[in-house]
Amino acid sequence: MADYERAENECIYNGGHLAYIDSAFSNSYILESVKNLTSSDFWIGAKRYKEPMNAAVSNIWIWTDQNRIISFSDWGLNEPSEGRDCGVMSTTDGSWYSSSCSSKKPYVCSFPATKSYCDEGWTQFAKSDSCYKVFYYSNWTRAEETCVEQNAHLASIHSSEEDEFIVGLSHCGVTFTGVGDSGFLQDTWIGLYTKTSRPGEYYWSDGTTVNYVNWRASQPNAQGWQCILLNSDPNQESSTTSGWDDWECSHVLRNFVCKKPTTKVFILH
């Protein structure tokens, strides 16, 4: 329970505003969401606008979220009334009434929806909420530098689903008919590496926790190789080539995959 100003401030503190209602559907949805409320009404984001330099302008109602003039409304009979400057919704039928802003009532907040998207040329994987892009021909160090230039890092992998997604993505684009460098030219750098000072301890270049691995049989083989590749030869069946190997960081592989978070945008009505 709060007065109108306190209710709005609480909504703002949590990233929203008092409820914004733009249609009969929204009105009904909010009414349904409070069906267990015992109070007869509750605060919504409607508020009377008062022009500081023109007291005659006093019958305009706005939403608190962006000071937008109310277009859709569901005012009750003879509402809004004079002298009561803050809006409430009845829990009985969803109609609106004006009320004294100092009254203490329950309240409903609205929060902006968000949409995630990736930059052009990047591919989104919903489960990780990340964007991925394949680049070609690089050793591990230069690959990571290229990713950083894209505000990304070499891909970290945290589930079998993400692993399979990256394998599929790595099959796109350039392929070779021949196999060079003991077969590893066809494969894909990922962001996993170990340090000379801490052999056997592995890290992701983006700093995330190593909570999933998919080593091939007999890997890692502890030959002093510090960088990890994804077996992704598009000329062979994935069932025979899937998994990770450690390898020399100076090797140039067919491609590498960069990964970065999606961009979030707010959807405002």
Domain count across the chain? 2
Query: Could you report the per-residue pLDDT of 115-130, keeping only the tens digit for each?
Result: 788 999 999 999 999 9
Query: Could you report the per-residue pLDDT of 152-198, keeping only the tens digit for each?
Result: 999 999 999 999 999 999 887 655 555 554 445 788 999 999 987 77
pLDDT at residue 51, as a whole number: 67
Cα-based distances in Å from 220 to 140, 188, 192, 211, 257: 17, 16, 12, 16, 21
Nearest to 152 by CA among 115, 202, 207: 207
> Residue 181, by phi and psi: left (phi above 0), alpha (psi -120 to 50) or beta?
left
Model confidence pTM above 0.85: no
CA angle 7, 10, 16 (to 5 degrees): 105
Query: Could you report the per-residue pLDDT of 25-82, keeping only the tens digit for each?
Result: 999 999 998 988 999 999 999 999 876 655 555 678 999 987 788 989 999 999 998 8
Averaged pLDDT of the chain:
86
pLDDT at residue 239, as a whole number: 45
Query: Could you report the per-residue pLDDT of 213-242, keeping only the tens digit for each?
Result: 999 887 787 666 789 999 876 666 554 457
Residue 53 covered by a domain: yes
Strand positions, DSSP E, the chain: 17-18, 41-49, 60-63, 68-69, 86-90, 96-99, 109-110, 113-117, 123-125, 130-138, 153-154, 188-195, 198-204, 227-230, 244-247, 253-261, 263-267
- End residue of a domain, out of 111, 143, 170: 111
Full residue range of the structural domain in which residue 97 is found: 4-111
Give the CATH number for residue 126. 3.10.100.10
Strand positions, DSSP E, 165-243: 188-195, 198-204, 227-230
Residue 47 covered by a domain: yes
pLDDT at residue 181, as a whole number: 47
- End residue of a domain, out of 80, 111, 142: 111
* Residue 201 confidence (pLDDT) above 50: yes
Q: Is residue 13 located within the same domain as residue 70? A: yes
* Residue 4 confidence (pLDDT) above 60: yes
